[in-house]
Amino acid sequence: MGPTIEGVALTPLKIIPTRGGPVLHMLRADSPRFTEFGEVYFSEVEPGEIKGWKRHLRMHQNFAVPRGQIRFVLYDDRPDSPTRGMVQECALGRPDNYCLLSLPPLLWYSFACTGAEPGLIANVTDLMHDPEESEVIPFESELARKIPYKWAECRSDNR
């Protein structure tokens, strides 16, 4: 794994083979990644679809991908961050990348389904959904065009 944005953590998760189908860990109350329970929900992404850019102002998030393949791209433009300006890519999915991706607030993030079947993202957050504390900017906006990552080029290598 390459360098990571300040405050981002990638934690390998266990897949436990079981008769009839595996058990997949995600998050326990005694994990260093757990602080407080706000909500757990899922986001499904159709093959080839990209969601983002988005950021939360206060929420911490913990992502896992129990089905399909998802690529996350993170961008740090926090003024006081030691990794300001950094872009981090992270592929999540079984069997090789079944991990917990933990994200502090204020990072921009975007994600795409890079597999042939829909990808399923589970998100465990420390706050309940509140539209007031998140922002979404369209890819074609001026702000988004300042993010040094081009999904269009990425998409073509996902075939």
Residue with tokens 């998802």: 70
Asked if 106 touches a second copy (CB under 8 A), the answer is no
Q: Which residues of 105-126 are buried (b: 16+ CB within 10 A; e: fewer)?
A: bbbbbbbbbbbeeebbbbbbbb
Using rule CB under 8 A, residue 40 touches a second copy: yes
Q: Count residues contacting a second copy (CB under 8 A)?
A: 36
The angle formed by the CA atoms of residues 18, 23 and 25, to the nearest 5 degrees, is: 145
Element (H, E) at 126: none
Binding region for a second copy (CB under 8 A) out of 4-12, 15-23, 77-85, 151-159: 15-23
- Which of 47, 45, 55, 51 is closest to 77 using CA atoms? 55
**Is 9 among the residues that bind a second copy (CB under 8 A)?**
no
Options 42, 58, 133, 141; binder of a second copy; rule CB under 8 A: 42
95 binding a second copy? (CB under 8 A): no
Which of 33, 34, 106, 154 binds a second copy (CB under 8 A)? It is 34
Work out how close the CB of 90 gets to a second copy at its nearest, in angstroms, rounded to a whole number: 18
C-beta of 5 vs 122, nearer to a second copy? 122
Instruction: Name residues contacting a second copy, limited to 57-76 (CB under 8 A).
Output: 66-67
Name the residue nearer to a second copy (CB basis): 86 or 122.
Answer: 122
Q: Measuring CA to CA, which residue among 93, 102, 130, 134 is closest to residue 34?
A: 102
Instruction: Kindly provide the b/e burial profile for residues 134-154, where b requires at least 16 CB atoms within 10 angstroms of the residue's own CB.
Output: eeebeeeeeebeebebebeee
> Is 135 a binder of a second copy (CB under 8 A)?
no
Binding site for a second copy (CB under 8 A): 18-30, 34, 37-46, 49-51, 66-67, 113, 118, 120, 122, 124, 128-129
